[in-house]
Amino acid sequence: KLEEFLNFNQVKTSLKEAILLDYYTAGFWWAKERNFSVIQLSGFMDLLNFLLENLSDKHMTLGDNLKELGKAMAGIGEPDSKRSGNLNFFSIEQAKAIIDYLNISLFKQYKLYEYLFHSPREVVISNE
Protein backbone atom coordinates (compact mmCIF):
# COMPACT_ATOMS: atom_id res chain seq x y z
CA LYS A 1 0.00 0.00 0.00
CA LEU A 2 2.81 2.43 0.82
CA GLU A 3 4.31 1.69 -2.59
CA GLU A 4 1.05 2.80 -4.21
CA PHE A 5 0.72 5.85 -1.95
CA LEU A 6 4.23 6.99 -2.91
CA ASN A 7 3.40 6.33 -6.58
CA PHE A 8 6.39 4.02 -7.02
CA ASN A 9 5.95 1.97 -10.16
CA GLN A 10 9.41 0.46 -10.54
CA VAL A 11 10.42 -0.76 -7.09
CA LYS A 12 11.72 -4.04 -8.51
CA THR A 13 13.96 -2.34 -11.07
CA SER A 14 14.71 1.09 -9.57
CA LEU A 15 17.30 1.15 -6.82
CA LYS A 16 16.20 4.67 -5.86
CA GLU A 17 12.55 3.69 -5.45
CA ALA A 18 13.49 0.57 -3.51
CA ILE A 19 15.69 2.56 -1.11
CA LEU A 20 13.03 5.22 -0.57
CA LEU A 21 10.33 2.61 -0.02
CA ASP A 22 12.56 0.98 2.59
CA TYR A 23 13.21 4.36 4.26
CA TYR A 24 9.52 5.17 4.62
CA THR A 25 8.43 1.61 5.47
CA ALA A 26 11.05 1.25 8.20
CA GLY A 27 10.03 4.62 9.65
CA PHE A 28 6.35 3.75 9.55
CA TRP A 29 6.84 0.43 11.36
CA TRP A 30 9.20 1.99 13.89
CA ALA A 31 6.53 4.54 14.80
CA LYS A 32 3.77 1.90 14.87
CA GLU A 33 5.85 -0.22 17.27
CA ARG A 34 5.99 2.76 19.62
CA ASN A 35 2.21 3.04 19.55
CA PHE A 36 2.18 6.54 18.08
CA SER A 37 -1.29 7.96 17.67
CA VAL A 38 -2.56 8.68 14.16
CA ILE A 39 -1.60 12.36 14.54
CA GLN A 40 1.86 11.44 15.85
CA LEU A 41 2.36 8.89 13.08
CA SER A 42 1.37 11.47 10.48
CA GLY A 43 3.70 14.06 12.02
CA PHE A 44 6.56 11.58 12.14
CA MET A 45 6.09 10.60 8.48
CA ASP A 46 5.97 14.29 7.57
CA LEU A 47 9.24 14.77 9.44
CA LEU A 48 10.86 11.88 7.57
CA ASN A 49 9.72 13.41 4.29
CA PHE A 50 10.78 16.94 5.30
CA LEU A 51 14.33 15.86 6.17
CA LEU A 52 14.67 13.78 3.02
CA GLU A 53 13.39 16.65 0.84
CA ASN A 54 15.92 18.96 2.50
CA LEU A 55 18.63 16.57 1.34
CA SER A 56 17.25 15.75 -2.10
CA ASP A 57 15.68 19.01 -3.27
CA LYS A 58 17.49 21.68 -1.27
CA HIS A 59 20.90 19.91 -1.23
CA MET A 60 21.24 20.62 2.51
CA THR A 61 24.33 19.46 4.27
CA LEU A 62 24.04 17.17 7.26
CA GLY A 63 24.71 20.10 9.60
CA ASP A 64 22.04 22.28 8.02
CA ASN A 65 19.52 19.44 8.09
CA LEU A 66 20.26 18.82 11.76
CA LYS A 67 19.55 22.51 12.41
CA GLU A 68 16.21 22.15 10.61
CA LEU A 69 15.40 19.14 12.77
CA GLY A 70 16.17 21.24 15.83
CA LYS A 71 13.82 23.98 14.66
CA ALA A 72 11.06 21.47 13.92
CA MET A 73 11.36 19.91 17.36
CA ALA A 74 11.81 23.15 19.30
CA GLY A 75 9.40 23.60 22.15
CA ILE A 76 8.39 19.96 22.57
CA GLY A 77 7.42 19.48 26.19
CA GLU A 78 6.97 23.21 26.78
CA PRO A 79 3.30 24.11 27.04
CA ASP A 80 2.39 27.16 24.95
CA SER A 81 5.96 27.62 23.79
CA LYS A 82 6.40 30.53 21.39
CA ARG A 83 9.35 28.83 19.73
CA SER A 84 7.43 25.62 19.17
CA GLY A 85 7.70 23.75 15.91
CA ASN A 86 4.61 21.91 14.76
CA LEU A 87 5.47 18.70 16.58
CA ASN A 88 4.26 19.58 20.07
CA PHE A 89 2.02 16.49 20.13
CA PHE A 90 5.12 14.42 20.99
CA SER A 91 6.41 13.96 24.52
CA ILE A 92 10.03 14.68 25.40
CA GLU A 93 10.71 10.93 25.59
CA GLN A 94 9.21 10.40 22.14
CA ALA A 95 11.24 13.30 20.75
CA LYS A 96 14.43 11.75 22.12
CA ALA A 97 13.50 8.39 20.58
CA ILE A 98 12.79 10.09 17.24
CA ILE A 99 16.19 11.77 17.28
CA ASP A 100 17.85 8.45 18.09
CA TYR A 101 15.96 6.79 15.25
CA LEU A 102 16.88 9.52 12.76
CA ASN A 103 20.49 9.23 13.81
CA ILE A 104 20.66 5.55 12.86
CA SER A 105 18.30 5.66 9.87
CA LEU A 106 19.08 8.86 7.97
CA PHE A 107 21.91 10.81 9.50
CA LYS A 108 24.35 7.92 9.88
CA GLN A 109 23.77 7.06 6.21
CA TYR A 110 23.64 10.68 5.00
CA LYS A 111 26.49 10.37 2.49
CA LEU A 112 24.76 7.40 0.89
CA TYR A 113 21.51 9.33 0.53
CA GLU A 114 23.45 12.27 -0.94
CA TYR A 115 24.98 9.90 -3.44
CA LEU A 116 21.55 8.46 -4.27
CA PHE A 117 20.13 11.89 -5.08
CA HIS A 118 23.07 13.87 -6.41
CA SER A 119 25.55 11.58 -8.10
CA PRO A 120 25.18 10.39 -11.66
CA ARG A 121 25.02 6.63 -11.74
CA GLU A 122 26.01 4.37 -14.55
CA VAL A 123 23.83 1.41 -15.36
CA VAL A 124 25.95 -1.69 -15.11
CA ILE A 125 24.63 -4.88 -16.61
CA SER A 126 26.69 -8.02 -16.45
CA ASN A 127 26.40 -11.76 -16.10
CA GLU A 128 28.13 -11.76 -12.71
What's the pLDDT at 128? 47
The predicted-structure confidence for 107-127, as pLDDT tens digits, reads as follows 999 999 999 888 876 554 444
Phi, psi of 8 (to 5 degrees): -95, 120
The three-state secondary structure class of 80 is coil
Q: How far is CA 114 from CA 45, 62, 98, in A?
A: 20, 10, 21
Long-range contacts of 8-16, Cβ-Cβ distance < 8 Å, separation of 24 or more: 15/116, 15/121, 16/116
Question: pLDDT under 50 in the chain at which residues?
Answer: 124-128
Q: Where are the domains of the chain?
A: 9-76+85-118
Other C-beta atoms lying within 10 Å of the C-beta of residue 51? 22
